């Protein structure tokens, strides 16, 4: 059985490697990631993970895996930090507050059935000073990331509390991923 990763994220490749999985093929899915009107963050993350998995052509002997990590502040879905000004705004919003990192994973096996799970991780940041925000933005680390930060880097020092899946906040919840892959016959040595 061959594994197709529907993601160009280096973080997701690295996370899969932690559980002994190397994709046979990597394909970047192209989908509209705009939230639907009134869509809740959990529903949004699950929908995107499945849409990404379905956007990649799959041969009969292939299993497709895709993921989505969504940062939510209450019912508000925070966008990726596409530029430094957006990143500053996001970090100010997260400063001193709890938020949810919803990391959904979807696996499609030979039966063409989507199996989807989500890890909901609560993350609380310390209150950030403007100097800390500016230094983090200037590091370039969180640019392009959901919520404007990368927990596996410098931003980990902002976290005063975390309850849930650390790997999910990075980009792929490994417990849920392993369970879904096992459910379609992927074996782990």
- Which entry of 32, 61, 68, 112 is annotated as an active-site residue? 68
Could you give the CA distance from residue 178 to residue 187 in angstroms, rounded to a whole number?
9
Backbone angles phi, psi at 164, to 5 degrees: 135, -145
Q: HSE of 114 in the Cβ direction (CA atoms, 13 Å)?
A: 18
Q: Are 177 and 118 in contact (CB under 8 A)?
A: no
Contact between residue 68 and residue 103 where contact means Cβ atoms under 8 Å apart: yes
Give the pairing type, strands 62-73 and 98-108.
Answer: antiparallel
Catalytic site includes residue 68? yes
Instruction: Decide the pairing of beta strands 76-78 and 25-26.
Output: unpaired
Catalytic residues: 68
């Amino acid at each position: 059985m061959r594994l197709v990763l529907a993601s160009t994220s280096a973080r997701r490749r690295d996370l899969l490697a932690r559980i002994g999985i190397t994709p046979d093929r990597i394909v970047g899915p192209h989908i509209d990631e705009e939230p639907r009107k009134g869509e809740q963050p959990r529903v949004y993350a699950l929908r995107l993970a499945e849409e990404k998995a379905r956007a990649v052509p799959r041969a009969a002997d292939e299993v497709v895996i895709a993921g989505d990590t969504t940062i939510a502040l209450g019912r508000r879905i925070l966008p990726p930090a596409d530029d430094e000004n957006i990143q500053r705004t996001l970090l100010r919003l997260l400063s001193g507050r709890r938020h949810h990192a919803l990391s959904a994973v979807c696996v499609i096996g030979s039966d063409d059935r989507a199996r989807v799970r989500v890890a909901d991780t609560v993350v609380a940041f310390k209150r950030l000073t403007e100097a800390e925000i500016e230094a983090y933005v200037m590091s370039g680390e969180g640019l392009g990331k959901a919520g404007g930060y990368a927990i596996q880097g410098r931003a980990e020092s902002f976290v005063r509390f975390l309850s849930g899946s650390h790997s999910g906040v990075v980009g792929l919840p490994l417990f849920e991923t392993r369970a879904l892959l096992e459910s379609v016959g992927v074996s782990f040595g």
